[in-house]
Amino acid sequence: MLLLLFLLLLLLCLLFLLLPPLAVLQQQQSQGPRLSWLAGLQHRVAWGLLCWAAAWQQWRLEQRTLHVSQSQQQALQWCLKRAQGTRCPLRGSTDMSAFRNHLPVTKASQAQKEESEGQLSTSNQPHGEASVQATLLGLAALNKAYPEVQAPGGRACVTPTSPWPHRLPWPWHALGQVSPPGSKDPDALLLGALMSPGLRALEAGTAVELLDVFSGLEARGEELAEAIAAGNPGVPLPRRAAELREALEQGPRGLALRLWPKLQVVVTLDAGGQAEAVAALGALWCQGLDFFSPAYAASGGAMGLNLGPEQPRGLYVLPPGAPLIELLPVKEGPQEEAATTILLGEAQKGKEYELVLTDHASLTRCCLGDVVRVIDAHNQCPIVRFVGRLGQTLSVRGEDIGEDMFSEALGRAVVQWPGAKLLDHGCVESSILGQHVCGVCLQIPLGALLPTMRYLWH
């Protein structure tokens, strides 16, 4: 029996090694628009393996969240064993209490100063098991909610950055993608998506980046249409160029569905502060589409996992694996320097906490500044919503107020205007007027003959 399993695994490995060159050769010989049978076989096998890997990660996540204290202790051991340099004062000790006593909590500003002086080595890129879990579970959840999205040619990323925190190796890296993975040319990515009218999912690094893509598309629409008509790159597609021009002539509202009639979902990574960009996209360019974020990427590379598209938007579970995440209670008024952190299993529903991250690169308990509110729990781990970042204040008339408080007050004011929707807002200091100016962008239904956008300057 074991010999048979070994032979099957050996044949499967040989198949993986032979599929890429054979698929490329077959595609080079085939002039038709359909994928070769070898490429189709590669796609089916890859998806089968991805679903298996996602099921394994889902099981691991369930086990870890059921035993959160033990899981965080293991995360601490992982960080200590892989600590770089000789800064680790806990050689031979992996006790959580000793770890907290020997390593004080460090503010983000202090960590950045030490990093610039070469004392620390930190990274803002998502890392650890959470990034792999977020990608595998997110792709599997997307496939379950929107089965047609993962068909060959069903997805396109229009930004150099990807919404998936971890880049998967072959044979998974190109599943359903229109553009080649790893491409960094924004124009090539956008053109690849525009030349594929059958897209089911539109991907971008963040909602803010996608907002810039649609703004640039409207500004450079004719240039892009000419490139598509001339076949730069690829085969000339004059009919598709005409469809692009016609879609742009009808304005921004619902533009995505006019360009891609089969589009179902927009996938972006939640990096905090993206809610208004998502609202703007949903009100105009991506009207009528669903939005999905596979993860919340906090400062310093910490990850929050999205349990599925059916969950309310903006809710993420904080995983207990590496890197180690602690929670610092947020209190009104000045923050106490010696405030005590808690572990994930001790979080209370309705309370707000600042994320404290420890990874193996710096071995520093760093306050990230990201504030989250506990909404619910998944087993023993908190499900949170991003609230804002500490230290970020607005000065509308010379006073200092939190950005989240200002946004909440502005949202309540807009509700009193029937039919209006808040798309974006900003606050800058005007050197011309000699005072602070608040700009508010609203969508106002005043009739088809009147502009739907108004900028109110106070």
235-293 pLDDT per residue, tens: 899 999 999 999 999 999 999 999 999 999 999 999 888 888 998 999 999 999 999 99
Distance CA 296, CA 238 (A): 40
Instruction: Classify residue 34 by burial, with Cβ atoms within 10 Å: 0-12, 13-18, 19+.
Output: exposed
Strand partners, 303: 297
What mean pLDDT is predicted for residues 419-431?
A: 62
CA angle 244, 247, 249 (to 5 degrees): 110
Q: Both tokens of residue 336? A: 């106490």
* Greater model confidence, 257 or 107: 257
pLDDT of residue 206: 94
pLDDT of residue 83: 67
Say how many residues make up the chain: 458
* Greater model confidence, 1 or 97: 97
Report residue 377's pLDDT band, with 50, 70 and 90 as the boundaries.
Answer: very high
pLDDT of residue 402: 65
pLDDT of residue 111: 53
pLDDT of residue 413: 78
Q: How many CB atoms lie within 10 A of CB 421?
A: 18
Average pLDDT of the chain to the nearest whole number: 77
**pLDDT greater than 60 at residue 118:** no
* Greater model confidence, 75 or 427: 75
Distance CA 152, CA 30 (A): 17
What mean pLDDT is predicted for residues 376-397?
A: 82
Q: Both tokens of residue 380? A: 């023993």
What mean pLDDT is predicted for residues 312-318?
A: 90
The tens digit of pLDDT for each residue in 366-375 reads 888 889 999 9
The tens digit of pLDDT for each residue in 177-223 reads 776 655 788 999 999 999 999 999 999 999 999 999 999 999 999 99
